Chain A
Amino acid sequence: AQSVTQPDIHITVSEGASLELRCNYSYGATPYLFWYVQSPGQGLQLLLKYFSGDTLVQGIKGFEAEFKRSQSSFNLRKPSVHWSDAAEYFCAVGNTDKLIFGTGTRLQVFP
């Protein structure tokens, strides 16, 4: 079955600290992988995507993610978190015609 797992429901970090949000997936074929961010009361904004090629992808707002086929993972990272990064983050897998989303990770940032 196709699925996406985000094992961390809620993460709290201090501003300036590094961040890693975990995402594991189960998918029959080589998937397209995405990270979206949702600020309170807003829709989802695309942070980055992986279709093929270099397994380390750069996104907006200083985020990056690494595709590891052997671990079925696509973890999101940022070296130094800003207070404005507080939001909910969703990992998604599939193709551009249909996506399966994880349950999300809520990020809280302390000053």
Chain B
Amino acid sequence: DVKVTQSSRYLVKRTGEKVFLECVQDMDHENMFWYRQDPGLGLRLIYFSYDVKMKEKGDIPEGYSVSREKKERFSLILESASTNQTSMYLCASGQGDSPLHFGNGTRLTVT
């Protein structure tokens, strides 16, 4: 079974802090994604990556950046956290005709 692991289930950070959300997948998938989930808005794509060291902006990239130094790891970075970035963050991976597989999510609270 594909496993997508997000390093933290819950995080509490202060406004202005730099925040790293880590995601690791174990199926050698080329594609990895970061989504943000908010009530009434569904899942919105922040960034995605089709290969090591490449990244593409999704629908809501402002305030975020990403890093993909290794194929299995895709990190989401909040350069200066703000309260409006309080949300559930979901990482996913996939390849070819394989549907996306999701991690269990990281619930981030910025105070």
Tell yes or no: A75 within 8 A of B by CB: no
Q: Chain B residues near A34 (CB, 8 Å)?
A: 99
Complex: A6 Cα to B100 Cα, angstroms:
20
- Nearest to A34 among chain B residues (CB) is B99
Contacts A43-B4, A43-B90; A96 near B40 (Cβ below 8 A):
no
Complex: A101 Cα to B42 Cα, angstroms:
6
Q: What total of chain A residues lie within 8 Å of the partner, measured CB to CB?
A: 21
Cβ–Cβ contact A97 & B50, under 8 A:
yes
Cβ–Cβ contact A96 & B95, under 8 A:
yes
Cβ–Cβ contact B104 & A43, under 8 A:
yes
Q: Chain B residues near A43 (CB, 8 Å)?
A: 4, 90, 102-105
- Nearest to A102 among chain B residues (CB) is B42
- Closest Cβ of chain A to B43, distance in Å, is 4
Complex: A97 Cα to B54 Cα, angstroms:
14
Cβ–Cβ contact B103 & A104, under 8 A:
no
Q: Which residues of A contact B (CB under 8 A)?
A: 6, 9, 34, 36, 41-46, 49, 51, 90, 96-99, 101-104
